Chain A
Amino acid sequence: MSIMTQYIDVDVRPILRAGGEPFSVIMSALENLAPGQGLRLYATFKPIPLFAVMQKKGFAHTEQALEGGEWEVLFTPAETQPDEPAAAASNFDNWPDPAVTLDNRDLDPPEPMVRILAEADKLGPGETLSALLRREPVFLFPQLEKRGFRWLGGFTSDGTAYELTVRAPS
């Protein structure tokens, strides 16, 4: 990491604490960086999923634990340019097809959560699994987060099932 690098601070802790999704804020901060500038990110957890994205965009990272389980991460532009920034960004949107699909709709709680965690732990780096549930698994999310997984979820359009996709850290 070069001492010359100038860092722009992005503090996403208020967004995370409010339950929001900070990804777009980080990406727009990234777009506004001048060449050679880096990003200093403050988050309430170690943003493992982001490391792979940033690496593809040409940033190396060093992280440092702060008090209260919070993290400061320095993203420093690497010497070599990324091959194709646009493609790298869409990589994040286009997660690979699920390696595992689970239908947990008819399992008694908390069996759906146990099964998802067990299968998620078997995923290879960057792989995804998808699961159908009867309800929004609110108690599962903190467990996924503690293990460094990312997830996307929502009810199907007819409202009868909750569709969850979990992605292993790259």
Chain B
Amino acid sequence: MIGSNISRWTMTYFAAALAWLFVALGLLVAGVGYPAGDIASPDTLVLVHVICVGWLSLAMCGALFQFVPVLVAKPLFSDKWALPALALLTVGLLSLLGGFLCLGGRLPPALWLLPLGAILLVAGFGLVVLDLGLTAWLRPTGPARFVLVGLASLCATMAFGAIFAFALAGWAGAAGGVVLSSGIPLHAIAGLGGWLTLTAMGVSYRLLAMFMLAPDVDDRQSGVTLAVGALAVAFAVAGGALAIGLAAGLQIVLSIAAVLGIASAALYGRDVAGIFSNRKRRHLELNMRMATLSFASLAGMALLGIALVTFDAFLANVGAFAFLAIFGWLSGLVLAKLYKIVAFLTWLETYGPVMGRAPTPRVQDLVAEDRATKWFVIYYAAVWTGTAALLGGEPAALRVAAAAMTVCVVGIVHEIVRIRRLADVARPLRLPVGAVAPHLLFARK
């Protein structure tokens, strides 16, 4: 088989990811973890891992199981690994979170939960990395190379995370303690920068071009963007690990990585601007208009980072910087693209078999953009308000912003469920003879 079928479990990944997003927003509203608590506290570790593993990584994996085959125009290496991987990741995350709660004294001490969680997460992500890596390797061009670098970064993130988990449980000896005491920035850079950001960039190149009818970005041009971004991550991880080994400070390494990171974001901005200006489709759909707010957040991050470093205030405000990265850039982009991806896959799954044989609705007939737009716009406004609240040292204001974000995500999820249920498709077109209504949580085969 050539080409791409519908990935059976992508919707399941999305649903699990959204459930974790609600957990994260609930914690923020309740004031658990940073900024109400210390940035290095176990509560903050719970919050950060719920967001980065539960929400962002699961959503990214679900999207990749569908779109890596599209990037390379080859079927997935194995369809059978996605569901076991999801189970391992879910149980692993629960175990890790349990370990953090023990660490903070919220649960009776059972620190073995940390290494257990790490092992399960490594197993789950390992399946994902193997499956997607072996698929992308078949045709490692353009966007697929971003995914390969992203997967390599995920491996680095897991390696650090596993060492931390064993060290926190007291099973990693003195060396583990040294890595734990200074390696956290490297774990965060590899995860947020390498795995989530570079992968999101790679997938966005193809999705933006596909849905806007724009020519693909030239491989050499996107290759430069990737090379600079990969160098930033590699420099931070390898240089940082070397610095830790030599007991030297991380400052120089991280400064160089930051400059490379900003350069990569700027090059990505140039590439995306090129896709937008070369598009054949003039009308911008909701997911594109909202994605621009996500790109604005990425640009805002770069400016904020430069300003904070200039005024020597980066470490004091790293929480605000991370908040904008996680909720403005990554979560915003993922939510905007989910809206489109769910509509497109639902349309393909439902109407593909009868297409050309019976009148079918357009993808646009499955969505109600006017109704959905407000949730996205208020969401971004709340994220930017929350970033300002963090910069201003106003935890109470952040909780209000998080509550507004929660309401908006409820609104967006409601729209996505309506898409899945074909609720906005006009009756006569909804289910032509031969079409089967989709299941909410997985694709029928």
Contacts and interface: CB of A to CB of B under 8 A. Distances in A.
Interface residues of A, number: 34
A13 B181 CA distance: 51
- Nearest 9 interchain pairs by C-beta: A141-B3, A117-B356, A118-B356, A19-B74, A117-B355, A142-B5, A138-B4, A138-B3, A142-B3
Interface in B332-371: 344, 347-348, 352-353, 355-357, 360, 362-363
A119 to B, nearest CB: 7
Nearest to A113: B355
B213 interface: yes
Contacts of A45: 1
Contacts of B357: 117-118, 121
Contacts of A110: 344, 347-348, 362-363
A18 B348 CA distance: 23
Given A17-B1, A113-B355, A142-B4, 13 more contacts: A18-B138, A19-B73, A108-B281, A110-B347, A110-B348, A115-B356, A121-B356, A134-B213, A138-B70, A141-B2, A141-B3, A142-B3, A142-B5
A114 B360 contact: yes
A114 B1 contact: no
B1 A142 contact: yes
A157 to B, nearest CB: 15
B356 A120 contact: yes
Contacts of B138: 18-19
A16 B1 contact: yes
Nearest to A107: B213
Interface in B45-71: 69-70
Contacts of A137: 3
B355 A143 contact: yes
Nearest to B71: A138
Given A44-B1, A118-B355, A141-B3, A19 B75 contact: yes
A109 interface: yes
Interface of B: 1-5, 69-70, 73-75, 138, 209-211, 213, 215, 280-281, 344, 347-348, 352-353, 355-357, 360, 362-363
Nearest to A115: B356
Contacts of B344: 110
Interface string A92-114: 00000000000000101111011
A135 interface: yes
Given A18-B138, A19-B138, A134-B280, A114 B4 contact: no
A151 B74 CA distance: 15
9 contacts: A16-B1, A19-B73, A19-B74, A106-B280, A111-B362, A114-B360, A119-B356, A120-B356, A141-B4
Contacts of B281: 108
A9 interface: no
Contacts of B352: 139, 142-143
A18 B134 CA distance: 10
Given A17-B75, A138-B73, A142-B1, A114 B347 contact: no
A145 interface: yes
A141 B2 CA distance: 7
A11 to B, nearest CB: 15
Contacts of B73: 19, 136, 138
Given A19-B74, A108-B281, A109-B213, A139 B4 contact: yes
Nearest to B364: A108
Contacts of B5: 142
Nearest to B209: A135
Contacts of A109: 210-211, 213, 363
Contacts of B347: 110
Interface string A42-53: 001100000000
A7 to B, nearest CB: 25
A46 B321 CA distance: 55
A146 to B, nearest CB: 7
Contacts of A119: 356
Interface string A128-150: 00000011111111110110000
Contacts of B70: 138-139
Contacts of A117: 355-357
B3 A139 contact: yes
Contacts of A111: 362
B350 to A, nearest CB: 12
A121 B362 CA distance: 19
A147 B419 CA distance: 27
A13 to B, nearest CB: 10
Nearest to B5: A142
Nearest to A114: B355
A17 B80 CA distance: 13
Contacts of A141: 1-4
Contacts of A108: 213, 281
A135 B356 contact: no
A140 B3 contact: yes
A108 B210 CA distance: 10
